[in-house]
């Protein structure tokens, strides 16, 4: 198997619990699929929320389906804009992270923790990872040859049967590399 990977830019977004969805969008509300994403079962929603921090607010897309915990994934620039110091973490690793207020058309939810800058990562389907000799949680580098070539270091590999091969970086990382459009990277072990 070739060691090339599609590099996708993951813009600011929010993952919500079913309870938060009802508070923010109204009793009985469920998330509306606007567009399927590259990871099976994941989708961008029609719904948006305002993420409010001590110094400001920004709009963010909601991703579905609902989760067991609320989580806000921002670029470091976004976090600075709203006055939050977001640690770089893997998705789901929110213990001890800052909180914020989420506002929707029907209400507000204050979360005590959950604001992160997502650590750059690659999703591998199990058989793809095996073919490349990649283990879950392995750290690799990825070379991207754009108008501003970069080598992303400290990229965590996430392996699961239900994943599809794709690397995710945030908007700050994407803009720094001029990674617009369809971009592929080369995995360096």
Determine the pLDDT at residue 71.
98
Tokens 């283990």, located at residue: 135
pTM: 0.94
Low-confidence ranges of the chain (pLDDT < 70): 1
Report pLDDT for 1: 59
DSSP class per residue in 102-125: EE-SS-EEEESS-EEEEPPEEEEE
CA distances in angstroms from 92 to 24, 38, 55, 63, 68, listed in the order given: 21, 19, 25, 14, 10
Answer yes or no: are the C-beta atoms of 34 and 75 closer than 8 Å. Answer: no
pLDDT of residue 57: 98
**What tokens appear for 153 in the block?**
């270091």
**Residue 189, pLDDT score:** 84
Rounded distance between C-alpha atoms, residue 61 and residue 65, angstroms: 13
Angle at 48 between CA 64 and CA 119, to 5 degrees: 60
- For residue 2, the model assigns a pLDDT of 75
């Amino acid at each position: 198997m070739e060691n090339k990977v599609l590099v996708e830019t993951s813009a600011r977004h929010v993952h919500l619990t079913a309870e938060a969805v009802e508070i923010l969008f109204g009793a009985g509300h469920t998330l509306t699929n606007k567009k399927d994403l590259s990871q099976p079962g994941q989708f961008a929603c029609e719904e948006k929320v305002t993420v409010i921090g001590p110094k400001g607010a920004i709009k963010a897309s909601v991703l579905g389906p609902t989760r067991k915990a609320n989580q806000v994934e921002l670029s470091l620039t976004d976090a600075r804009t709203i006055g939050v110091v977001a640690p770089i973490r893997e998705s789901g690793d929110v213990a001890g992270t800052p909180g914020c207020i989420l506002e929707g058309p029907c209400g507000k939810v204050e979360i005590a923790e959950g604001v992160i800058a997502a650590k750059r990562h690659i999703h591998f389907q199990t058989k793809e990872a095996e073919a490349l000799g990649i283990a879950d949680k392995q750290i690799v580098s990825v070379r991207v040859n754009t108008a501003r070539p970069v080598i992303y270091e400290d990229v965590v590999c996430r392996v699961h049967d239900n994943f599809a091969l794709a690397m995710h970086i945030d908007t700050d990382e994407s803009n720094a590399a001029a990674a617009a459009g369809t971009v592929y990277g080369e995995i360096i072990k």
